[in-house]
């Protein structure tokens, strides 16, 4: 079985994240673990358990996907899950610079695990969790960018 891990803070989980997972599990991997970083350098508005719950709700209906939290080195966690790949999304050139550096370091730490990059579907190329949070903070309509549970959770935070 070809397994991938898709790590991130997912604060919040967006329709762009869902699209990437759906395409990965439909076309490339037999199973995808969405790995929610529990402790991050990023300041998050949702707790780890809230982010895990919202990701699960956002991914309902997609087979062969599991959402779990993790802490520690990603390559160690990926190896524990028997993953052969780390799945990452690339939207813009600046994403590539960061992801290339991370991919190279992960390869040094565990040469058996590959990094696989997918570009977003055209309708989500502009979408980021940061933009969604900003729109929600100012009362904008985010219903096209997140599922209803995430929308409600964001509205309750702001």
Catalytic residue among 17, 18, 51, 88: 17
Half-sphere exposure in the Cβ direction for 153 (13 Å, CA): 23
Task: Choose, from 51, 103, 129, 133, the residue flagged as catalytic.
Answer: 129
Write the burial class of residue 102 (CB in 10 Å: 0-12 exposed, 13-18 middle, 19+ buried): middle
Catalytic site residue 157? no
Strands of the sheet containing 85-89, edge to edge, are 65-70, 31-37, 3-8, 85-89, 114-118
| All residues at 6 or more sequence positions from 92 whose CB lies less than 8 Å from its CB, including other chains | none
Whether residue 88 lies in the annotated active site:
no
Q: Which listed residue (39, 42, 112, 137) is catalytic?
A: 42
94 catalytic residue (yes or no): no
Q: Catalytic one among 91, 107, 121, 128?
A: 91
Told to judge if 23 belongs to the known catalytic residues of this protein, a careful annotator would answer no
Angle between helices 15-27 and 48-58 (to 10 degrees): 60
State the catalytic residues: 17, 42, 91, 129
């Amino acid at each position: 079985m070809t397994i991938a891990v898709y790590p991130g803070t997912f604060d919040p989980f967006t329709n762009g994240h869902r699209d990437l997972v759906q395409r990965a599990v439909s076309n490339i991997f037999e199973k995808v673990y969405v790995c929610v970083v529990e402790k991050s350098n990023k300041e998050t508005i949702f707790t780890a358990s809230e982010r895990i719950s919202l990701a699960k709700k956002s991914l309902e209906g997609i087979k062969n996907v599991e959402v779990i939290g993790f802490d520690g080195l990603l390559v160690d966690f990926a190896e524990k899950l028997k993953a052969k790949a780390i799945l990452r999304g690339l939207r813009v050139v600046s994403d590539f610079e960061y992801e290339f550096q991370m991919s190279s370091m992960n390869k040094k730490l565990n040469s058996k695990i590959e990094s696989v990059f997918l570009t977003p579907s055209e309708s989500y190329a502009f979408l980021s969790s940061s933009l969604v949070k900003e729109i929600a903070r100012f009362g904008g309509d985010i219903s096209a960018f997140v599922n209803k549970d995430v929308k409600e959770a964001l509205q309750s935070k702001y």
